[in-house]
Amino acid sequence: MVRGPAQRQIRPARVYQTVTTLMEHRIKPRLAVQQPVWYKVVESIPPSEILTRPFPPQHRQPNPRARKASRLFQPQKLVYKEDELRKKFYTDHPWELARPRMIIEMDGKDALRCDWSKGLRQPGMPLSGECVVQRQMYLMENVPGITEDTAYDQVRKEFYKLRQEEEIERRIAQEEARMVGAYFGQTFQQVGMKLEDQQFERWKRWATREIEKIQGEQTAAYSSFDASEDPEAADLDVDSLREDLESTANTPPA
Amino acid sequence: MIIREFGVRQGRKALAAPLRRGQQCMRALSTETSGTPVATADPAVEAALQTSPENPTVPSLFARTAKPTRRRPVAPDTTKADWETAQQLRHNLRNVGAQVEHRYSPSDVFRNPPGPKDVTLELLMASQAHMGHHASVWNPANARYIYGIRQGIHIISLEQTAAHLRRAARVVEEVAYHGGLILFVGTRPGQTQIVTQAARLAKACHLFTKWTPGTITNSDKILPGLPVEIVNEHDQPVGGFNQHLMDRRALVPDLVVCLNPLENFTMLRECSQANVPTIGIVDTNTEPTWVTYAIPANDDSLRCLAVIGSVLGRAGEAGQKRRMEDAKNGKVTWDTPSEIKQFMDIQQKRAQWTKRAAEEEAATKDKSGGLNGKPSSGSATKDSEVFDESMQKLQMEVDAATADDVSPQLRKMSRRTD
């Protein structure tokens, strides 16, 4: 299969002309080329023009001080007013990005079902930073005399209030459920801590074994000397390990 | 357990009928025989049970000596009653629980395939038809279709997509109307359902595995002896063409729709060599000159491909429907392929000559039986000679036609008018 640099082909766009030539000029005089089924179709619906470089859609104001045109025939960047607002919101609330978000659209008319004059909560859309941005945009466009910062502050506070409400609702639901006998397993954090503790205990066992091994080697090496003579003979390595072990054993597991 | 579901679960349990115990359970639970009759399918056992316990009948010698049958008693069929109970339960619980809102499901497009008239920019945008590739891997030949750059990727202009898609749908419809053979190709994983559905709608062929190189250009070697059928304008098979089908060449499609031109360069190249128009979905990194009709769209999104495939399939369906309606009214929208026409001419002439020769022979016999005793088979021999000559001539023509490579327009569904 041919990948790599694309090869221009001239025949596909010219099937009609090719077959017309074949039909008109009989290469074998006794053999008539029959008109293909698609002939009239392609004649009435010709392929569109390609391979011409059009002037691309312009999305920015031309720079009046530019001396020469740059990237004249290349597509331009799409920039919208919301981009700045979005950037500001997510810089201020980076953990909003950690919330799962649905980005699939149903039929493309999802935005038409939202009315941002009514607040941040919209049908079929969970509360997210996008709600803040859209509502702020609405206020900036429709409330006379409102600045970007004022609108941001107003919407931000609405957002906080709703998030708080959500949190309280969730807590109460949890309490109610616990009251009637529901139980929830460990949270992700608890699971994570448990795994970490397991590894930690493993390391402690390993470290104890290592200390014993080193000490055994040392006693074997100094077997000719009096064992009670030299307590300083222990290596630094063993000391540091033991210190580590003691300090970690004293600290309660998180 | 969540409290909201409490009502649903417990309510269902409370309303449901108690568990029906089989006969075996009853027997296992009680060692003594109960006076209550138990439904059994075996009439002998039933009769034995129905007798009063006061005067138990002495079992016959056969019954005493016979081993118990292995056959299990058949429980009465309660499917209908169960189903009715379930319906009743569903009716009773219809207001319990949350209302589930219908959201997007990937199978929606297969359940209710959109047609060319349903193509809107919103639909295309929701199905992510506008997403191109990274700006660095673009093919500048697609500059015409690109609206701008967003977050590093090219955004395809949906107006262009819609316009080109409608144009392609029109081509598919017209080719189907003229009885052409359409082939839908999509060889990436996940495109099988899209391709098969489009083919089913448009009464076309599909390919979702690798294109064997040379299927068009070397078809004599790759597709020998595949079954081909001759049909009339009502798509009913027509007999009497066995001889022709034995030595005709393989078929070439009249239109090829390719969902992933990037992986099917060989196929598109063969199509262009055989002068077959092609329709292809062209992403921003695809070469648009490989296909006759390009549809600029995102070829990596299965949702987008499903929409485009179903639109083209629906267009083909409309074309086929129109063709069949016209056929009912006596209008045939296609011409008989030339090789079939030749075959039919030969057959016709052969039949004529045979008939004439037979007549001549009969006439000679009559004459010889009459006044003139001399057998005069002169005219008959002359006729048969002429017949042979003309047959040779025709055969030569046919040989010339089949040996030449100049005419690649062989049609799959070679048709003839009745």
Chain A residues near residue B2 by CB distance under 8 angstroms: 177, 182
Segment A132-158 shows an average pLDDT of 96
- Picking from A14, A44, A19, A20, the residue whose alpha carbon sits closest to that of residue B171 is A44
β-bridge mates for residue B279, sequence order: B257, B293
A121: left (phi over 0), alpha (psi -120 to 50) or beta: beta
Spell out which residues of chain B touch residue A109, defining contact as CB-CB under 8 Å. 122
Contacts of B98 in chain A (CB under 8 A): none
Nearest-Cα residue of chain B relative to residue A50: B141
Q: State whether A38 and B289 contact (CB < 8 Å).
A: no
Q: Which of B275, B284, B301 to mutate to test the interface with A (most CBs of A within 10 A)?
A: B275
**Helices B302-328 and B192-202, packing angle to 10 deg:** 10
The separation between CA A196 and the C-alpha centre of its own chain, rounded to angstroms, equals: 27
| Together in a domain, A159 and A246 | no
The yes-or-no verdict on residue A140 having pLDDT over 50 is yes
Does some domain include residue A75?
no
Residue B170 belongs to a domain: yes
Rounded Cα distance between B418 and B416, Å, is: 6
Q: What value of ipTM does the predicted structure carry? A: 0.75
Same domain? For A90 and A170 the reply is: yes
Asked if residue A119 belongs to a domain, the reply is yes
The size of chain B, in residues, is 418
Low-confidence ranges of chain B (pLDDT < 70): 1-69, 368-418
Q: Which residue has the tokens 């997509």?
A: B161
If you measure CA to CA, which chain B residue comes closest to A45? B171
Q: Please check whether residues A88 and A120 belong to one and the same domain.
A: yes
Q: Does the distance separating the beta carbons of A177 and B123 come in below 8 Å?
A: no
Residues B144 and A54: beta-carbon distance below 8 Å: yes
Residue B85, in any domain of the structure: no
Residues paired with residue B281 on neighbouring β-strands, in sequence order: B295
A158 and A198 in a common domain: no
Residue A92 sits in the same domain as residue A172: yes
List the single residue in A1, A57, A124 with the smallest CB-CB distance to B147.
Answer: A57
Residues A171 and A212 in one domain: no
Whether A67 is covered by a domain: the verdict is no
Using alpha carbons, select from A72, A62, A79 the residue that is nearest to residue B143: A72
Mapping DSSP onto H, E and C, the string for B195-235 reads HHHHHHHHCCEEECCCCCCCCCCCHHHHCCCCCCCCECCCC
Question: Beta-carbon neighbour count of residue B171 at 10 Å?
Answer: 27
Contacts of A181 in chain B (CB under 8 A): 1
Q: Do residues B319 and B174 touch, judged by C-beta distance below 8 A? A: yes
Alpha helices in B369-377 (DSSP H): none
Whole-number Å distance between alpha carbons of A132 and A120: 7
The CA distance from A75 to the nearest CA of chain B, in Å, is 5
- Give the residue, A169 or A221, on which the prediction is more confident: A169
CA angle B3, B6, B8 (to 5 degrees): 135
What is the reported pLDDT for B51?
46
The verdict on residue A7 lying in a domain is no
Instruction: Supply the mean pLDDT for chain A.
Output: 89
Expressed as residue numbers, the domain containing B287 is: 108-216+252-328
User: Which residue of chain A comes nearest to B335, CA vs CA?
Assistant: A37
Long-range contacts of B3-8 (CB under 8 A, 24+ apart): B3/A173, B3/A176, B3/A177, B3/A180, B3/A182, B4/B97, B4/B98, B5/B97, B6/A180, B7/B96, B7/B97, B8/B93, B8/B96, B8/B97
Claim to verify: residue A114 and residue A200 sit in the same structural domain: no
User: What is the spatial distance between Cα B134 and Cα B149, in angstroms, rounded to a whole number?
Assistant: 9
**Residue A103 confidence class, pLDDT cut points 50, 70, 90:** confident
A188: tokens are: 């992700």
CATH of the domain at B291: 3.40.50.10490
pLDDT digits (tens, 9 = 90+) for A161-192: 999 999 999 999 999 999 999 999 899 999 99
The alpha carbon of residue B18 and the mean position of all alpha carbons in its chain are separated, in whole angstroms, by 48
Nearest CA in chain B to A43: B171
In 10 A of CB A186, how many CB atoms?
A: 10
Burial grade of B207 (CB within 10 A; 0-12, 13-18, 19 or more):
buried
d(CA A91, CA A73): 34
Between CA B315 and CA B307 the distance in angstroms is: 12
Cβ contact, residue pair B262, A49, below 8 Å: no
CA-wise closest residue to B344 among B246, B244, B413: B244
**Could A31 and B404 be called an inter-chain contact, meaning their C-beta atoms sit closer than 8 Å?**
yes
Contact flag A32-B149 (C-beta cutoff 8 Å): no
C-alpha span between B323 and B328 (Å, rounded): 9
Q: Considering only CA atoms, which of A19, A47, A17, A46 is closest in space to residue A35?
A: A19
What residues in B contact A113, CB-CB < 8 Å?
none
Provide the token pair at B98.
């949350």
Instruction: Determine the 3-state secondary structure of B97 from DSSP.
Output: coil
Residue A60 lies inside a defined structural domain of this protein: no
Please name which of A139, A17, A33 lies closest in space to residue A82, comparing C-alpha atoms: A139
CA B330 vs CA B19, B234, B239, B296, B326: distances in Å:
66, 10, 21, 39, 6
Domain assignment of residue B155, yes or no? yes
Q: Is residue B38 part of a domain?
A: no
Residue A194 shares a structural domain with residue A156: no
Of A78-87, A216-225, B225-234, minimum mean pLDDT range: A216-225
Judged against a pLDDT cut of 70, whether residue A112 lies above it is answered with yes
> Cα(B107)–Cα(B194) distance, rounded to whole angstroms?
11
Same domain, A134 and A194: no
Number of independent structural domains in chain A: 3
Is B180 within the bounds of a domain?
Answer: yes
Domains of chain B: total = 1
Instruction: State which residues form the domain around A24.
Output: 12-44
> Who contacts A215 (Cβ-Cβ below 8 Å, separation ≥6)?
A234, A238
Say whether pTM exceeds 0.80.
no
A197 and A173 share one domain: no
pLDDT at B11: 53
Position A156 scores a pLDDT of 96
The answer to whether B128 and A105 are in contact (CB under 8 A) is no
Q: Over the stretch A51-64, which tens digit does the pLDDT of each residue have? A: 888 999 999 888 89
Query: Nearest-5° angle of CA B281, CA B285, CA B290?
Result: 55
Residue B101 in domain: no
| Co-location of A154 and A192 in the same domain | no
- Chain B neighbors of A59, CB-CB under 8 A: 148
Residue to test with chain B: of A20, A38, A71, A170, most B Cβ within 10 A: A38
How many whole angstroms from its chain centre is CA A205?
40
B158 Cβ neighbours under 8 A, 6+ residues apart? B121, B124, B125, B129, B130, B147
Do residues A143 and A195 both lie within one domain? Answer: no
Residue B74 pLDDT: 85
Indicate yes or no: CB of A50 within 8 angstroms of CB of B271: no
In chain A, the residue whose alpha carbon lies closest to the alpha carbon of B407 is: A33
What is the Cα gyration radius of chain B? 37
Between A147 and A29, residue with greater pLDDT: A147
Distance CA A93, CA A67 (A): 42
